[in-house]
Copies of this chain bind each other. A is one copy, B any other.
């Protein structure tokens, strides 16, 4: 990654230099009458490995090359260079945009002279941004590209946000029912000045976050309360990683079904799609509070609260059972087998059944008794 100063601030100079070097090397090839090319770690499935010692999904050692004088690659090659040039411009201007904004800038620049299909679909440009990230061993956030943002936080966390021409300080303990929206980029121009908490609690659903926030759960427990609001975005996963780096334990409370469980696993080990930035976004220290199907043994009423699993649920359970980074934990293998056998699931909202605040007690008890799944 381009180095920023200790506090994660920077003027993008590192990124500019990096992109310029990338261009210079290609230009050197051209000047030397060589075929311009660049290489990067392969993101093919065959090169995605689970790094057991570190506990996350990452890329193996196999490399790929993109070169200009290869009929199958020249279009991709040219497009990637065009993307690099645009990103250089964005960083120079100190302006951000989405990958959709980038896509339309490329479409605009290429104009009418070029076959309109060259960038007719954004799905075509997305993998090229990943190529560039992998080739330069960085993240798109450093190119001033924001990804979808989603996720909310409450707790004793103070953040300084340098954005546009403004510098604002946000106190996530004073955000009422709204909470602090987690930005898509928590590396650049965001400084965590003060984090006072015993642990991080991640809850899958925004509705459950709101419930716990209303109870002042994070205040009573002195924790940081986060909801990814479904599957966790890059920004939310990166934030969790950064908080874990401050020495805070991370506990995750999700639905008791394959989708909730997989959200946990993407937080913990990263995901196949983002294996190329696994070291930046995975939090192998995370522990799973629930919901588990074995909760039914301890909480009788849950037996009447199950939903039927769909065919898609069962198929997904089977797939997850085959992931070596999951099935190495016998507790998880058992949960998945139960899901397949019993054909049921348990939503986290079920724990509001006896009374709305029962959910608070459930979480507290699980943490107190350290009843986690690995």
Binding site for B on A (CB under 8 A): 90, 93, 95-98, 100-101, 103-105, 107-108, 111-112, 116, 146, 148-149, 152, 159, 161, 163-166, 168, 170, 174-184, 206-207, 210-211, 213-216, 301, 304-305, 347, 349-350, 352-354, 356-357
Give the shortest distance, in Å, between A299 (CB) and chain B (any CB).
11
Give the shortest distance, in Å, between A352 (CB) and chain B (any CB).
4
Determine if B177 and A105 form an interchain contact, defined as CB atoms under 8 angstroms apart. Answer: no
Determine if A356 and B101 form an interchain contact, defined as CB atoms under 8 angstroms apart. Answer: yes
Q: Please, which residue of chain B has its CB at the minimum distance from the CB of A358?
A: B108
A146 to B146, CA, bound (A): 30
Determine if A350 and B207 form an interchain contact, defined as CB atoms under 8 angstroms apart. Answer: no
Which residues of chain B have C-beta atoms less than 8 A from A178's C-beta?
161, 170, 180-183
Determine if A214 and B350 form an interchain contact, defined as CB atoms under 8 angstroms apart. Answer: no
Q: Please, which residue of chain B has its CB at the minimum distance from the CB of A183?
A: B177
Determine if A301 and B108 form an interchain contact, defined as CB atoms under 8 angstroms apart. Answer: yes
Determine if B107 and A164 form an interchain contact, defined as CB atoms under 8 angstroms apart. Answer: no
Using known A-B contacts A214-B163, A356-B90, determine if residue A100 contacts B207 with beta carbons closer than 8 Å.
yes
A112 to B95, CA, bound (A): 59
Determine if B95 and A305 form an interchain contact, defined as CB atoms under 8 angstroms apart. Answer: no
Which residues of chain B have C-beta atoms less than 8 A from A104's C-beta?
305, 347, 349-350, 352-353
Determine if B349 and A98 form an interchain contact, defined as CB atoms under 8 angstroms apart. Answer: yes
Which residues of chain B have C-beta atoms less than 8 A from A352's C-beta?
97, 101, 104-105
20 A–B pairs (Cβ distance < 8 Å), ordered by A: A90-B356, A95-B214, A96-B210, A97-B356, A98-B211, A100-B207, A101-B352, A104-B352, A105-B352, A107-B350, A159-B176, A161-B178, A163-B177, A163-B214, A166-B176, A168-B174, A168-B175, A178-B182, A179-B181, A184-B210
A215 to B349, CA, bound (A): 40
Using known A-B contacts A90-B356, A108-B301, A168-B175, determine if residue A101 contacts B211 with beta carbons closer than 8 Å.
yes
